[in-house]
Amino acid sequence: MSTTMQPPTPLKHTNRLGYTLADYKGGDSTLCAGCGHDAITAQIIKAFYEYGVEPYRVAKLSGIGCSSKTPAYFLSHAHGFNGVHGRMPALATGVMLANQTLISIGVSGDGDTASIGMGQFVHLLRRNVPMIYIIENNGVYGLTKGQFSATADLGSKSKSGVSNDLPAIDVCAMAIELGCNFVARSFAGDVKQMIALLKAGLGHRGTALFDVISPCVTFNNHEGSTKSYKYAKDHEELLHDISYVPFFEQITVDYPDGEAKDVELHDGSHIRLRKTDKGYDPTNKTEALNSLRKCQESNEFLTGLIYINEQNPDFLTLLNTVDAPLATLPQERVQPNEEALREIMADLM
């Protein structure tokens, strides 16, 4: 009899833990067909499956908004908490304080994070709470949305001709400045990049921030929508993965490292994505900020893993709490004994 143990041959179509992809799925999306958020959802499912995370150990947090609805569409075997607008960071922090064995994923939008949620977002990053934090960013990039978000480009015009006079918030640059140790940007339609980044995020102990540009299909109710339909038909070559066949199809992209990709959004406007090239050093904070700035100046969005630092402690390490979940510590462990009370009382006499 051999004394060495052979690892069991993995069953077909299961991950290293023995789960199937179906175990990571959630309910049906009620978002508009073609919504970028649904693409992100699919990538989350795939990334968690491929990385090998037990679904029951995941906690899904979100704020309020279209993106915040998505936790219902993935990992139905994980507890989810759709909170209040802009306050998901506080909830997520509390969850991790109570049980640091959970793997938290927070889903938010540009309004939820960069407008009402700006305060909590900043402090979450400072604390470095261990979690994946995804901003499903459909802010205005020369789009014709009704309201601008805080990430809207300066000078972009709404359909009615109103111009945005306020500078855009670059959440990635801000996050790096605030001490975030994992800052990534991607595009909802870049399946390869997203999944790779998500898996990297799962391996990172601390806040892993994802700014994901996620085009909105429903930003105007005018006849202009037929223009979008026409656009989708004209740009079939962009679609590498035809898993959806709605009126508005997902915009997907795939382009090499170091290169720029011009992407036309549903309303006919353009954004330009530039991938960090192979020689890019994401551990260099200065280079990261400079690269972001350079791309901004050429009206491009830098995508990829922009900055990473594996040295800094996460919030729970700083608090030096016991490893076991605080939530379920038994009474004997958390209730000081009668002698302790006697001692305290004696001191007050």
Partner 1 sequence: MGIPVSGKNLFPSNIAGLPTWFTIRANKDGWIARRKEIDFLIAMNAETAREDVLNLDPNRIVVYEETLKLNQYRKDLSFFPVPFAKLATQITPDSRLRKLLANMIYVGVVGELLEIDPNEMDLALTKQFKGKAKAVALNKTALDIGRKFAAENFDKTSVIYKTQRMNATKGKIIIDGNAAGALGCMFAGVTVATWYPITPSSSLCERLSDYMKDYRIEKDGKANFAIVQAEDELAAVGMAIGAGWAGARSVTSTAGPGISLMQEFIGLAYYAEIPVVIFDITRVGPSTGLPTRTQQSDILSMVYCSHGDTKHIVLLPASVEECFSMGYDAFDLSERFQTPVFVMSDLDLGMNNWMSDPFVYPKKKFDRGKVLSAEDLKRLGSFQRYGDVDGDGIPYRTLPGTNHPAAAYFTRGSGHNENAVYSERPDDYKRNMDRLNHKYETSRTYVPQPEVNDAKGARVGFLAFGTTHWAIIESLDQLKREYDMPVSYYRLRALPFTKDLVEFFERHDRVYVVEQNRDGQMAMLVKLELPAELISKLRNIRHYSGIPIDARFVTDELIAAEKGEQN
| Residues of the shown chain interacting with partner 1 in the complex, contacts defined by CB under 8 A | 54-57, 59, 61, 71-72, 76-84, 87, 89-95, 97-99, 101-102, 119-120, 122-123, 316, 319-323, 325-329, 331, 333-336, 338, 340-342, 344-345, 348-349
Q: CB of residue 329 vs partner 1: minimum separation in angstroms? A: 6
Rg (CA), the chain: 22
Nearer of residues 16 and 240 to partner 1, judged by Cβ: 16
Q: Answer for the pair 219, 193: CB distance below 8 angstroms, yes or no.
A: no
Nearer of residues 162 and 327 to partner 1, judged by Cβ: 327
Q: CB of residue 246 vs partner 1: minimum separation in angstroms? A: 22
Q: CB of residue 190 vs partner 1: minimum separation in angstroms? A: 28
Q: Strand pairing of 182-187 and 207-213?
A: parallel
Q: CB of residue 219 vs partner 1: minimum separation in angstroms? A: 23
Nearer of residues 58 and 173 to partner 1, judged by Cβ: 58
Q: Which two tokens stand for residue 213?
A: 């540009």
Cα–Cα distance, 327 to 347 (Å, whole number): 31
Nearer of residues 74 and 141 to partner 1, judged by Cβ: 74
Q: CB of residue 58 vs partner 1: minimum separation in angstroms? A: 8
Q: CB of residue 22 vs partner 1: minimum separation in angstroms? A: 12
Nearer of residues 5 and 334 to partner 1, judged by Cβ: 334
- N-to-C CA span, the chain: 72
Q: CB of residue 196 vs partner 1: minimum separation in angstroms? A: 27
| Secondary structure class of 131 (helix, strand, coil) | strand
Q: Across the strands, what pairs with 108? A: 135
Q: Across the strands, what pairs with 262? A: 272
DSSP structural state of residue 303: E
Q: Which of these, 159, 154, 153, lies nearest to 141 by C-alpha position?
A: 153
Nearer of residues 179 and 268 to partner 1, judged by Cβ: 179
| Secondary structure class of 348 (helix, strand, coil) | coil
Nearer of residues 242 and 318 to partner 1, judged by Cβ: 318
Nearer of residues 24 and 248 to partner 1, judged by Cβ: 24
Q: What is the DSSP string of 220-288?
A: --STHHHHHHHHHHHTGGG-S-----SSSPPP-----TT-EEEEE-TTS-EEEEEE--TT--TT-HHHH
Q: Which two tokens stand for residue 8?
A: 């069991």
258-273 burial string, b = 16+ CB within 10 Å, else e?
eebbebebbbebebeb
Q: CB of residue 44 vs partner 1: minimum separation in angstroms? A: 16
Cα–Cα distance, 61 to 207 (Å, whole number): 14
- Find tokens 């350079």 and name the residue: 294
Q: CB of residue 52 vs partner 1: minimum separation in angstroms? A: 16
Nearer of residues 78 and 191 to partner 1, judged by Cβ: 78
> Which runs of consecutive H residues, i.e. helices, occur in 152-244?
171-177, 191-202, 224-234
